[in-house]
Amino acid sequence: MTTREIAALLEKYYSGEATDEEEKQLKELFKSGDIPDELKDEQEIFSFYSESYVMPEPSPGFEKRIISAVDMSNGESTFLRTSRGLYTVLSIAAGLLILLGSYFFIERQRNVADTFTDPQLAYAETMKILYEVSSRLNKGTQPLDQIKKFRDASSVGIDALGKSTEAIDLSLRNINYFQKMMNIANSPMDIIKQGAQ
């Protein structure tokens, strides 16, 4: 068989149009080992197909086992639905219990009496406590002064970078302006040269 005939059979085979007889002919041809060099890759494919095993037929009772497994899973899903419903009801009950407990706890706390009878004394005590809290907060923020110094230094660096960018931008504008002037100066010379030709 010529290379052209083999290629035509392969094309039919890969497009799914080859008959059983043509497929058998291709398998025998590649099994024999007498093929051109340009079709050696195809020989590897067909040797794989010929060496691969045939899928066995299912055992007797296979269909019955599948159906019984499906029936068992349906029974389990009913159990799961029931347990999920129970879980939902218990979750709602627990939430309501927490809400009721919170309500009664807060209601008991409302009956707390004032500790001071004199409003000026209460105000003075409140100011003393707030001053104490403020001083402790200020002590806690002292290490943040180092971060503020770093932030200030970085803003100075960014400002210097902005100034140098402005200087570069101004220089580029001057170069563009100079280039435009040169183009304008050269344009009358171009007109004169074209007129002379």
| Under 8 Å between Cβ of 26 and 39 | no
Q: Which of 45, 39, 5 is nearest to 22 (CA)?
A: 5
- The pLDDT score that the predictor gives to residue 75 is 59
166 is a domain residue: no
139 is a domain residue: no
- The pLDDT score that the predictor gives to residue 95 is 93
Residue 98: pLDDT band (50, 70, 90) is: very high
75 is a domain residue: yes
- Provide the domain limits for residue 79: 61-112
Computed over every residue of the chain, the mean pLDDT equals 79
153 is a domain residue: no
pLDDT at residue 74 greater than cutoff 70: no
117 is a domain residue: no
Confirm whether pTM is higher than 0.85: no
- The total number of structural domains in the chain stands at 2
pLDDT tens digit sequence for 8-42: 888 888 888 888 888 888 778 877 777 777 777 77
Q: Are residues 33 and 8 in the same domain?
A: yes
146 is a domain residue: no
